[in-house]
């Protein structure tokens, strides 16, 4: 399919209920700070079309300059959108990205941010998740996330362990920690909704150990995500060298198609949003308080050096992350 622009006459013909109006008000005012006269673009795809319409309707309450673009579903998280979408994003003041696959780690998103757009990326978000997790205390999430990001920035290296079998060394020397707070009111601000994490890109070529994803997998097969069995990844010299368990064949196919850089250990993150829960959806699971996540693939857009059209996270339960003698999280309990 080509990229389609949908006008208000294509929106769902019903009034917003009170909960929807409250959620949209929180997003438009507290999270993105949409102002009258600003240009807003909403990018969505067929599986998320109704959510795209919902956010467009919310934006229209703040400004008349709202464009809703329907693009084909992307093949992978981190795949570039069509040129028309990228151009529209770069010309907007605010971008909402409720899509099936993540546009966070793309040049299109990065260029939009560099041009000053405030961007909220919402890969794989569902209606139920939006209603439950977007009406939150953004200031409280920001305090926790900022404190953890500062600790990641100060750490030379960390060890990540968990009862499921994870034992991974990550070199963070010189890398900056970032906070996804949900408050994207500054020029060029970017993050996820639902928000709530602190994260960092480890140094390339240095990670080693074992990763066991037992809360959410870095693949999109629902049968894999709910099987209950963990995915196990052996890491050497900064790359995923072997993968076993549910989803292994899907992940290996991505590695085979995109090459060595897709195996890069790209990110370490810690969840900070108390409104989220383990659901099998990575966007939500990685924000859950008491979890950590590790991503594979692209790290260029979060302070790393690996540029590949793929970025996907796996999530683990009850992590312990220690920098020297200082715990950031211990058996799922945050140190801040």
pLDDT in tens, 38-86: 999 999 999 999 999 999 999 999 999 999 999 999 999 999 999 999 9
Reported as type and span, the H/E element at residue 208 is strand 208-213
Average pLDDT over residues 168-184: 98
User: Contact, 90 vs 103, CB < 8 A?
Assistant: no
Average pLDDT over residues 279-301: 94
* CA-CA-CA-CA dihedral for 54, 55, 58, 62, to nearest 10: -150
* Per-residue model confidence (pLDDT) at position 221: 54
CA distances from 230 to 53, 264, 270, 329 (A): 36, 20, 19, 21
Indicate the pTM of the whole model: 0.88
User: Contact, 155 vs 178, CB < 8 A?
Assistant: no
> SS3 of 110, please?
helix
Give CA–CA dist 27/313, Å, rounded. Answer: 24
- Beta-bridged to residue 6, according to DSSP, are 68
* CA-CA-CA-CA dihedral for 16, 125, 51, 142, to nearest 10: 60
Architecture of domain 4-133: 3-Layer(aba) Sandwich (3.40)
Residue 224 has pLDDT above 70, yes or no: no
Residues 6 or more apart whose CB falls under 8 angstroms from that of 47 comprise: 73, 100
Taking residue 228's Cβ as centre, other Cβ atoms within 10 Å add up to 7
Residue with the larger pLDDT of the pair 274 and 228: 274
Work out the mean pLDDT of the chain and round it to a whole number: 95
Handedness of CA 20, 22, 26, 32 (dihedral sign): positive
The full length of the chain comes to: 336
Give CA–CA dist 293/217, Å, rounded. Answer: 10
Band (pLDDT 50/70/90 cuts) for residue 13 is confident
Average pLDDT over residues 22-28: 96
Give CA–CA dist 24/30, Å, rounded. Answer: 10
Residue 24 has pLDDT above 80, yes or no: yes
Delimiting residues of CATH 3.40.50 domain(s) in the chain: 4-133
Residue 227 has pLDDT above 60, yes or no: no
Residue 22: exposure state from Cβ atoms within 10 A (0-12, 13-18, ≥19): middle
Residue 225 has pLDDT above 70, yes or no: no
Band (pLDDT 50/70/90 cuts) for residue 222 is very low
Residue 336 has pLDDT above 50, yes or no: yes
* Per-residue model confidence (pLDDT) at position 295: 98
Backbone φ and ψ of 196, nearest 5°:
120, 75
Band (pLDDT 50/70/90 cuts) for residue 280 is confident
């Amino acid at each position: 399919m080509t990229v389609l622009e949908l006008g208000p006459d294509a929106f769902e013909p019903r009034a917003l209920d009170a909960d929807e109006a409250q959620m949209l008000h929180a997003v438009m005012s507290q999270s993105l700070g949409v102002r009258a006269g600003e240009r807003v673009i909403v990018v969505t795809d067929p599986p998320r079309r109704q959510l795209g319409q919902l956010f467009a309707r919310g934006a229209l309450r703040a400004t008349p300059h709202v464009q809703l673009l329907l693009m084909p579903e992307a093949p992978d998280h981190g795949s570039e959108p069509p040129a028309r979408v990228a151009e529209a994003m770069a010309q907007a003041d605010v971008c909402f990205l409720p899509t099936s696959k993540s546009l966070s780690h793309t040049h299109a998103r990065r260029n939009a941010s560099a041009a000053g757009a405030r961007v909220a990326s919402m890969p794989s978000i569902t209606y139920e998740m939006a209603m439950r997790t977007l009406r939150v205390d953004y200031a409280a999430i920001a305090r926790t996330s900022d404190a953890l990001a500062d600790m990641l920035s100060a750490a030379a290296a960390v060890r990540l362990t968990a009862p499921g079998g994870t034992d991974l060394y990550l070199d963070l020397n010189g890398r900056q920690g970032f906070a996804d707070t949900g408050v994207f009111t500054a020029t060029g601000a970017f993050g996820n909704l639902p928000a709530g994490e602190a994260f960092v890109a480890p140094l390339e070529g240095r990670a080693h150990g074992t990763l066991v994803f037992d809360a959410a997998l870095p693949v999109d097969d629902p049968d894999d995500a709910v099987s209950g069995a963990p995915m196990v990844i052996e890491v050497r010299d900064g790359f995923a060298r072997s993968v076993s368990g549910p989803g292994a064949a899907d992940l290996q196919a991505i590695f085979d198609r995109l090459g060595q850089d897709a195996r890069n250990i790209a990110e370490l993150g810690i969840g900070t949003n108390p409104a989220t829960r383990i659901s099998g959806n990575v966007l939500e699971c990685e924000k859950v308080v008491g979890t950590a996540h590790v991503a594979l693939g692209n790290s260029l857009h979060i302070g790393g050096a690996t540029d590949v059209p793929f970025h996907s996270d796996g999530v683990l339960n009850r992590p312990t992350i220690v920098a020297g003698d200082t715990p950031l999280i211990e058996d799922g309990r945050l140190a801040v």
